[in-house]
């Protein structure tokens, strides 16, 4: 007989203290993970510092599933919504004991997905948390599988969906949707990045006339500095189409975006010369002070 506790409190009472601890930690952490993204105004916003598309692009460079990731770039916002909903749903379902084994497997799958994308290159591996969460979800799944069903092995997993089950799944979806709406309504305060006055970029002698220099702007964006006979100027390299990072092609004298082919002319205020970008790249204020080039 599969075990189906009649209420949420009965499900908690039926578990050992160690299992309760594991379940509570996983459920709360997954809800927190969803909230962290839902209340982040930049997560679904191309151009935001934490935009999901920019994260996908960055992860794709070193991930073993990089080619798959870059193909999903065009659906970044949809992927972001699904990630937020998935994290809320897994967390809420775990705490409410709704389809608990499926939720545990979903939590395991999300952890593996995050490991393959976000923390695959973290060395040593124990500095990245995703492998630890994957193991915790798997352990919780095995506890449910072996401890509650009274039978062993994957064959014991059942999908009993009766009227009460459908209502509980609906409740999980509703609560998850409500959390998403609340996160959108109450975006967390993104602290303005304190901009240091006249942040030094590089020594003037390191950038010859006609040369360029890559740096990170005070706002954290990738940026490129140009030095010409008449002075210096710089641009934020975040593409104004959907947030990929553009690169300078010296032979063409253009800043080009590999995602959808936008091109910008750095000698004409980075105006768009090709592709779908709606506006020029953002200009970054720089100037020469003494022997240094600084961001002002």
**Which among 32-40, 213-221, 253-261, 288-296 is the span making contact with ligand FES, rule CB under 6 A?**
253-261
Q: Is the peptide bond before 208 cis (omega within 30 degrees of 0)?
A: no
Confirm or reject binding of residue 225 to ligand FES (CB under 6 A).
no
Assess contact for 34 and 91: CB atoms under 8 A: yes
Burial (Cβ within 10 Å: 0-12, 13-18, ≥19) of residue 85: middle
Residue 64 C-beta: closest distance to ligand FES, Å: 24
Residue 57 C-beta: closest distance to ligand FES, Å: 9
Least gap, CB of 85 to ligand FES (angstroms): 25
As measured in angstroms, the least distance from the Cβ of 278 to ligand FES is: 10
Residue 244 found at the interface with ligand FES (CB under 6 A):
yes
Cα radius of gyration (the chain): 25
Note whether 128 binds ligand FES by CB under 6 A: no
Work out how close the CB of 72 gets to ligand FES at its nearest, in angstroms, rounded to a whole number.
Answer: 14
CA distance 49 to 40: 10
**Residues listed for the chain:** 296
| DSSP SS3 for 247 | strand
What is the size of the binding site for ligand FES (CB under 6 A)? 13
H/E stretch holding 31:
helix 17-38
Query: For residues 274-293, which are near ligand FES according to CB under 6 A?
Result: 275-277
- Site residues (CB under 6 A) for ligand FES? 239, 241-244, 257, 259-262, 275-277
């Amino acid at each position: 007989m599969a075990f189906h506790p009649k209420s949420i409190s009965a499900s908690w009472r039926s578990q050992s203290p160690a299992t309760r601890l594991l379940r509570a930690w996983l459920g709360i952490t997954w809800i927190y993970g969803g909230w962290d993204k839902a209340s982040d105004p930049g997560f679904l916003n191309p151009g935001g510092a934490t935009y999901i598309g920019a994260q996908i692009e960055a992860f794709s460079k070193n991930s073993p599933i990089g080619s798959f990731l870059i193909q999903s770039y065009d659906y970044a916002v949809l992927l972001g919504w699904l990630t937020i909903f998935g994290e809320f749903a897994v967390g809420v379902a775990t705490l409410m004991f709704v389809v608990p084994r499926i939720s545990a497997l979903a939590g395991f799958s999300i952890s593996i997905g995050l490991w393959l994308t976000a923390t695959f290159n973290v060395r040593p591996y124990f500095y990245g948390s995703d492998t630890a969460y994957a193991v915790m979800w798997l352990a919780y799944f095995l506890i449910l599988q072996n401890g509650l069903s009274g039978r062993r092995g994957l064959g014991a997993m059942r999908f009993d969906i009766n009227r009460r089950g459908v209502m509980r799944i609906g409740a999980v979806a509703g609560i998850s949707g409500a959390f998403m709406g609340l996160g959108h309504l109450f975006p967390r305060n993104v602290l303005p990045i304190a901009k240091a006055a006249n942040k030094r970029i590089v020594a003037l002698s390191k950038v010859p006339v006609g040369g360029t220099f890559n740096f990170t702007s005070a706002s954290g964006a990738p940026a490129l500095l140009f030095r010409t006979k008449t002075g210096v100027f710089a641009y934020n390299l975040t593409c104004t189409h959907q947030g990929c990072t553009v690169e300078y092609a010296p032979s063409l004298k253009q800043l080009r975006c590999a995602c959808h082919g936008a091109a910008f002319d750095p000698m004409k205020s980075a105006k768009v010369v090709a592709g779908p970008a709606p506006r020029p790249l953002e200009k970054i204020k720089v100037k020469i002070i003494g022997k240094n080039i600084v961001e002002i």
